[in-house]
Structures are given as structure tokens and as C-alpha cells.
């Protein structure tokens, strides 16, 4: 593994830098987000700016991560570890495979379990729609799209406005939130539309 080349890619959907591990809840969030998405790697001993700081106590970091994966993730996650030295500094690589038992939940500081997934370089709290997508996409059943008047209105709106929220879609089609959500989930899994998260709201755009 060319660790420098990997670091140059920067943090993203499948890569996260951690200078050190200090909190079981925070690391569980990252592990769960990777497992619920396409998998990924944590580089321990690398700062957010990509500078290599090295791991001070490899055994302690490994113990913390394993504890997070087993006790703070539900179902438990099995990380793989690799040690790489760069200029006498140790970087601990933690590999998380995409899970086939999605969704995984992470325990927070208030002892509540939440689903997280990866968006760009952030581990984001999953909305009900995303949890549904994660659940259904982990099943290998085929997802057939039936284009009804509701889908037609959705795509007309997207071609004009570029984006839509669940609330807007529900109002546009005079559907219940549940029915509107079901349609959006089906289209996300089929790769026709994609979810986007801003600080204010979740919205959907064409791929």
C-alpha cells in the first residue's frame, strides 16, 4: 500500500483521517458509516490536513477501535488492521468492509443507537429515508421501477427546479409522507435519483 498516495487523495467517502482515538462513540460513528456504505479505511496517526503524526501506542489504539467495533456498533463490526511505517512514524490502517448485515447502529453519548452513513468526507446521521435505502439495498432482490403519474410529476419538477424535498414531493403528488418516501427510496436504490444533505434539510436530485 502506498500510504502517501492514499493520503494525497484526501478524506472522502471511503477514507477518513484520525490523529488519535480518544472517544469510543466518535469512532463507532465512523465505523458504522463505512459499513453502511461501500466500506472504507481509517488512517490513525494522520491529521485532518494529511500530515503524518504517527501513532504513540499502537496497542491502545487497536484496543479502542476493537472495543468500539464490538461494543458500540450493532451489529458488531470486524475491522482489519495493517501497520505501515512512514519515516519512522507508525500509521495504523483500519479497513472496514461494506457490510452484508446493514444497517449498523452506533451508540452515542446518551446511550441511544443511531444509523450513520458516509457523504463525501463526513459521517452523517441517516434520515428515515436513508435507513430504508440501506435496509433495502442490502437485500439482493431486484428493484423494478413502475413509472406512474407520481414519478412523472417528480421528474418534471426536477427538470425545472433541480431539486425536491420529501415534503415538496408529498404535496406535489398529494401523497402521504409514507407513500412519497416509498417512491423516493425505490428511485434511490435504482440509481435514478440521489439524496443530498445540507445543514438545513435533506433534498433529492437526479444522478
The model's pLDDT over 50-96, given as tens digits with 9 standing for 90+, comes to 999 999 888 899 999 999 999 999 999 999 999 999 989 999 999 99
In this prediction, residue 119 carries a pLDDT of 83
What is the percentage of the chain residues whose pLDDT exceeds 90? Answer: 77
Each residue's pLDDT tens digit, 147-185: 789 999 999 999 999 999 999 999 999 999 999 999 998
pLDDT number for residue 143: 55
For residue 104, pLDDT beyond 90: yes
Mean pLDDT score across all residues of the chain = 92
pLDDT at residue 23, rounded to an integer: 93
Residue 60 contacts residue 89 (beta carbons within 8 Å): no
Domains of the chain: 3-126 (3.30.950.30), 137-206 (1.10.10.10)
Amino acid at each position: 500500500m502506498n500510504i502517501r498516495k492514499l493520503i494525497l487523495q484526501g478524506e472522502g467517502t471511503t477514507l477518513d483521517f484520525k490523529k488519535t482515538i480518544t472517544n469510543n462513540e466518535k469512532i463507532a460513528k465512523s465505523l458504522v458509516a463505512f459499513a453502511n456504505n461501500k466500506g472504507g479505511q481509517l488512517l490513525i496517526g494522520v491529521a485532518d490536513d494529511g500530515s503524518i503524526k504517527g501513532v504513540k501506542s499502537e496497542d491502545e489504539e487497536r484496543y479502542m477501535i476493537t472495543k468500539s467495533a464490538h461494543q458500540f456498533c450493532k451489529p458488531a463490526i470486524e475491522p482489519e488492521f495493517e501497520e505501515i511505517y512512514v519515516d519512522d512514524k507508525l500509521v495504523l490502517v483500519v479497513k472496514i468492509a461494506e457490510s452484508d448485515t446493514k444497517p449498523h447502529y452506533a451508540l452515542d453519548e446518551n446511550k441511544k443507537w443511531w444509523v450513520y452513513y458516509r457523504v463525501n468526507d463526513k459521517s452523517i446521521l441517516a434520515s428515515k429515508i436513508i435507513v430504508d435505502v440501506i435496509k433495502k439495498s442490502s437485500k439482493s432482490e431486484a428493484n423494478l421501477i413502475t413509472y406512474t403519474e407520481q414519478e412523472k410529476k417528480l421528474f418534471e419538477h426536477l427538470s425545472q427546479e433541480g431539486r425536491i424535498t420529501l415534503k415538496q414531493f408529498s404535496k406535489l403528488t398529494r401523497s402521504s409522507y409514507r407513500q412519497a418516501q416509498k417512491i423516493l427510496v425505490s428511485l434511490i436504490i435504482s440509481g435514478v435519483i440521489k439524496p443530498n444533505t445540507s445543514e438545513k434539510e435533506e433534498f433529492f436530485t437526479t444522478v
